[in-house]
Amino acid sequence: MDYIASWAGVIISPPPIKFDSLSHMQGWLNENIKVHCPGLSGFLKRWESAFVQAANDNIMVLSLSFSISEIDFVGCITSYIIQGKSAADENVREECKDEKQDSNISDVVVA
């Protein structure tokens, strides 16, 4: 939270001691963090801040989870893996093009 506040030049209200639900937590995140981190640069800054906070808390292994829409937001899995490197980069653009041609949603089987 402090990392984002410093980067955005804002004061962020601390979260409640306990959230009533996941929806309550998501609402707080949207209203207090995401609002200051728009677009791709904001998305990447939130990602970066998770690692900064983990380091500050002496967490040795951090495993983040991302949805398909977040991966699509940065272009493709290749650009996502290299932390949102711009899809405008010629090499990444070509890799994403190849990746999208190789993937097919019908290949996904839901058990």
pTM of the model: 0.61
Q: Any idea where the domains of the chain sit in the sequence?
A: 2-56, 68-103
- How high is the pLDDT of residue 64? 80
Query: Can you list the pairs that 46-54 forms with residues at least 24 positions away whose Cβ atoms lie under 8 Å?
Result: 46/4, 47/83, 47/84, 48/3, 49/3, 49/4, 49/7, 52/3, 53/1, 53/3
Region 55-68 average pLDDT: 86
Q: Is the pLDDT of residue 71 over 60?
A: yes
Region 53-71 average pLDDT: 85
